[in-house]
Amino acid sequence: MSLLEVKNLQVRVEEREILHGLSLTVNLGEVHAIMGPNGSGKSTLSHVIAGKPGYEVTGGEILFKGENLLEMAPDERAAKGVFLAFQYPVEIPGVATMTFLRTALNAQRKARGESEFSTPDFLKKVRAVAASLNIPQDMLRRGVNVGFSGGEKKRNEILQMALFEPSLCILDEMDSGLDIDALRVAADGVNALRSPDRAMVVITHYQRLLNYIVPDFVHVMSKGRVVKSGGKELALELEASGYAQFEDAA
């Protein structure tokens, strides 16, 4: 059984069809890159997998560990192991990062019927992960993402990924707004989480990110469909020739 099976997915937003029958299969241990020009539907796919409201699925299905993902609330999906690293992580003033992390982790554990973490165990775990990602302690005391730089926000997403230990990580345009040093730190964090028990879907417009997070498979999206799939060399090919050829193909 595959971890994630997207079959002939059709999605509308406000009467406009964005995805016109998209299919994608991801197995544990694999890293897939999804590339494509703006407006090809990459972010829509990530939002629909995570359960963001406002999207109407008009056809097809998504199976996660064999279960119908589309019937689950976003929090159920998170507890089952779906994690979306946001392109633009939101700022939540008044909610301390530490409080947020503990509430979220314990909510997921509770939903899975696991015991909640004790405060000392939790603190130990967060501190260890934060140190490995170069996240200073004072950042954890601040409001969630409030006053964080672009790089800090992305590192905070990776911190959560490390803490929640999801089986499917979707990284939505992780490279947007990051300079090359910040990108390297974030990519190192992601690479450390690669595991045979986990799959990743890396959504990006640019090939650059894939120099740091090297995928097993590359899919090219255009106009709401996957128009070509291949190995990591496909990304380099795109870098040389651009997306134009695929736009015609779609």
Q: Does 240 bind another protein (CB under 8 A)?
A: no
How many angstroms separate the CA atoms of 47 and 42, rounded? Answer: 9
Which CB atom, from 97 or from 204, has the smaller least distance to another protein?
97
* Residues 92-131, interacting with another protein (CB under 8 A): 92-95, 99-100, 103-105, 107-108, 111
Task: State in angstroms the smallest separation of the CB of 213 from another protein.
Answer: 21
Q: Find how far residue 73's CA is from the centre of its chain.
A: 17
Residue 116 and residue 110 in contact, taking contact as beta carbons nearer than 8 Å: yes
Residue 74 and residue 111 in contact, taking contact as beta carbons nearer than 8 Å: no
Which CB atom, from 92 or from 131, has the smaller least distance to another protein?
92
Interface pattern 161-200 for another protein (x via CB under 8 A) = ---x------------------------------------
- The β-bridge partners of 201 are 32, 170
Q: Does 243 bind another protein (CB under 8 A)?
A: no
The beta-strand segments (E) located in 74-185 are 82-85, 92-96, 143-144, 168-172
Residue 172 and residue 84 in contact, taking contact as beta carbons nearer than 8 Å: yes
Q: Does 73 bind another protein (CB under 8 A)?
A: yes
Binding interface with another protein (CB under 8 A):
50-53, 73-75, 77-79, 83-84, 86, 89-90, 92-95, 99-100, 103-105, 107-108, 111, 143, 160, 164
